[in-house]
């Protein structure tokens, strides 16, 4: 078993560190944020992630997992340092590598024995080469250091499972020493290992994430066309899914992909292509479709209503997807400001995301209320929007909209209800890529101009 240090206790770093400890390695997680480290030392996870906190507490108690801000102690005698710090998006779409550079410099100035540095953060192709050179430029002691790429593919909410039961481990290095050590570190996971060059590993991460983003944008594009021609995207997706070449996952049309990865990684790959004199047309299209898709419900509602002024609007779901409190690039953030601007009184319900949303939109400054139960949002409401498919929101029955709302007018961005059930309950219902239910009749109310115009002019 190895002595591993992990730089960064965000989603990537913390989950990796806890999972390495779980399989028996001795792990020290390092972060500059003292408050976060204090929380972690007390067994409290700063992120909402199924199973993480328990696993963290168990491994800390076993003495295999420790947290510190003292990077010197953590790095000096580590066999391997995994870097899992953030690479936030910059205004031009490129990735900000300053956190990686800081850790690289700390490693260079502290290591006292041979050390394998492993970059887990998503970084532009070629970054690992630069990180290795950077460490070698600043290294103080006469020890061997090599840098390998080991991207992760965890999704928020299922991060622990995605790590312990990953579909594959990507090891990117051109050195036998680094490859053998990484293979041994990952041996206890008993998972398929794909060993490639460093640059290919870096590209696999972007190519995988962006392929999934492309798949979602493709389905959203087809969904918009389904509305215009009278087809149903859910039936279309089901029919497509039987073809193993297409697969059954990531075919759900909705209000666009959000989160910390897809929006950032599509823009970063687009930027990387342009830097290299190439136009990545597929990914540019995925980005454009996604930008439009996020406000499609707002535009449908604007077509239906002459004003939002004074209306009570129920917003169901704030986070970018269920089982997370993360709001990054969430469709709610694209829609709620528009509703507030138009004078709506917003009543927002989310099982865990309200506190984060409140920080951006406090009740004292905006006409917004955060409620604890969906019924409070729906009661006497004129309109309701569904932005996240939480179980608590799926549990709302079609007749609840009819009974609780002043006017049962529902705009569903996640297609969580059957058309028939809403029609039977007497709810006016607009969703994505399906026929609308208006006055108990199914009609075609799509938003052809705004979507297409923006697409062609973008």
Q: Which of 254, 351, 353, 408 binds ligand UDX (CB under 6 A)?
A: 254
Q: How far is the CB of 396 from ligand UDX (least distance, A)?
A: 19
Q: Which of 320, 387, 390, 429 binds ligand UDX (CB under 6 A)?
A: 320
Stretch that binds ligand UDX, among 149-157, 395-403, 432-440, 442-450 (CB under 6 A): 149-157
Distance CA 25, CA 3 (A): 6
> Is residue 259 involved in binding ligand UDX (CB under 6 A)?
yes
Indicate the residue among 112 and 232 with the shorter CB distance to ligand UDX: 232
CA 63 to chain centre: 32
Q: Any known ligand binding at 413? A: no
Q: Which residues pair with 195 in a beta bridge?
A: 171
Q: How many residues bind ligand UDX (CB under 6 A)?
A: 17
Q: Which of 155, 240, 371, 419 binds ligand UDX (CB under 6 A)?
A: 155
* Closest among 184, 151, 20, 132 to 84, alpha carbons compared: 151
Q: Any known ligand binding at 154? A: no
Indicate the residue among 71 and 257 with the shorter CB distance to ligand UDX: 257
> Is residue 321 involved in binding ligand UDX (CB under 6 A)?
yes
* Closest among 395, 425, 427, 391 to 410, alpha carbons compared: 427
- Of 292-311, binders to ligand UDX (CB under 6 A) are none
Angle in degrees, 0-180, between the axes of helices 262-275 and 281-293, rounded to the nearest 10? 140
Q: Which of 78, 108, 135, 154 binds ligand UDX (CB under 6 A)?
A: 154
Q: Any known ligand binding at 52? A: no
Angle in degrees, 0-180, between the axes of helices 198-229 and 262-275, rounded to the nearest 10? 110
Q: How far is the CB of 122 from ligand UDX (least distance, A)?
A: 8
**Residue showing tokens 């041996």:** 187
Classify strands 65-68 and 26-30 as parallel, antiparallel or unpaired: parallel
Distance CA 342, CA 308 (A): 6
Has 115 been annotated as catalytic? no
Q: Which residues pair with 385 in a beta bridge?
A: 315, 411
> 281-314 b/e with 16+ CB inside 10 Å = b?
ebbbbbbbbbbbbbbbbbbbbbeebeebeebbbb
| Catalytic residue chosen out of the listed positions 19, 115, 226, 261 | 261
> Is residue 250 involved in binding ligand UDX (CB under 6 A)?
yes
Q: Any known ligand binding at 448? A: no
Indicate the residue among 154 and 185 with the shorter CB distance to ligand UDX: 154
Q: Any known ligand binding at 252? A: yes
- Of 206-235, binders to ligand UDX (CB under 6 A) are 209, 216
Distance CA 208, CA 228 (A): 31
Collapsing DSSP states into helix, strand and coil, what is residue 215?
Answer: helix
> Is residue 387 involved in binding ligand UDX (CB under 6 A)?
no
| Residues near ligand UDX, by CB under 6 A | 153-156, 209, 216, 250-252, 254, 257-259, 261-262, 320-321
Positions at the binding site for NAD(+): 31, 36, 87, 122, 264, 328
Catalytic residues: 261
């Amino acid at each position: 078993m190895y002595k591993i240090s992990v730089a960064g206790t965000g989603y990537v770093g913390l989950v990796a560190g806890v999972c390495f400890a779980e399989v028996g390695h001795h792990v020290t997680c390092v972060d500059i944020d003292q408050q976060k480290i204090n929380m972690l030392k007390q067994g409290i996870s700063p992120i909402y992630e199924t199973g993480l906190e328990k696993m963290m507490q168990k491994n800390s108690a076993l003495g295999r997992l420790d947290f510190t801000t003292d990077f010197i102690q953590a790095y000096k005698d580590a066999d391997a340092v995994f870097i899992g710090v953030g690479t936030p998006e910059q205004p031009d779409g490129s990735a900000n590598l300053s956190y990686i550079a800081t850790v690289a410099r700390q490693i260079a100035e502290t290591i006292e024995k041979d050390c394998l540095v492993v970059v887990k953060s998503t970084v532009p192709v070629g970054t690992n080469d630069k990180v290795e050179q950077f460490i070698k430029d600043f290294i103080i002691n006469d020890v061997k250091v090599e840098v390998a790429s080991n991207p992760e593919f965890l999704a928020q909410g299922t991060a622990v499972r995605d790590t312990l039961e990953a579909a594959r481990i990507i090891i990117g290095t051109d050195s036998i020493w680094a490859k053998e050590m990484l293979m041994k570190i990952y041996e206890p996971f008993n998972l398929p290992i794909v060993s490639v060059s460093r640059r290919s590993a870096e590209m696999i991460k972007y190519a995988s994430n962006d392929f999934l983003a492309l798949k979602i944008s493709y389905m959203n594009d087809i969904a918009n066309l389904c509305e215009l021609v009278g087809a149903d995207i859910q039936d279309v997706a089901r029919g497509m899914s039987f073809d193993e070449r297409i697969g059954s996952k990531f075919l759900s049309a909705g209000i666009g992909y959000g989160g910390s990865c897809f929006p950032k990684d599509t823009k970063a790959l687009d930027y990387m292509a342009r830097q290299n004199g190439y136009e990545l047309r597929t990914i540019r299209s995925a980005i454009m479709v996604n930008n439009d898709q996020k406000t499609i419900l707002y535009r449908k509602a604007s077509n239906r209503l002459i004003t939002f002024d004074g209306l009570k609007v129920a917003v169901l779901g704030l986070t970018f997807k269920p089982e997370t409190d993360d709001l990054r690039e969430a469709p709610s953030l694209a829609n709620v400001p528009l509703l507030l601007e138009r004078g709506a009184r917003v009543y927002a319900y989310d099982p865990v995301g309200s506190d984060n949303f409140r920080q951006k939109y406090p009740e004292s400054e905006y006409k917004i209320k955060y409620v604890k139960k969906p019924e409070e949002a729906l009661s006497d409401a004129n309109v309701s929007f569904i932005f996240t498919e939480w179980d608590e929101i799926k549990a709302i029955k079609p007749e609840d909209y009819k009974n609780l709302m002043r006017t049962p007018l529902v705009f569903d961005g996640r297609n969580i209800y059957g058309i028939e059930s809403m029609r039977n309950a007497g709810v006016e219902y607009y969703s994505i890529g399906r026929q609308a239910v208006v006055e108990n009749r199914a009609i075609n109310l799509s938003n052809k101009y705004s979507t297409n115009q923006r697409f062609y002019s973008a």
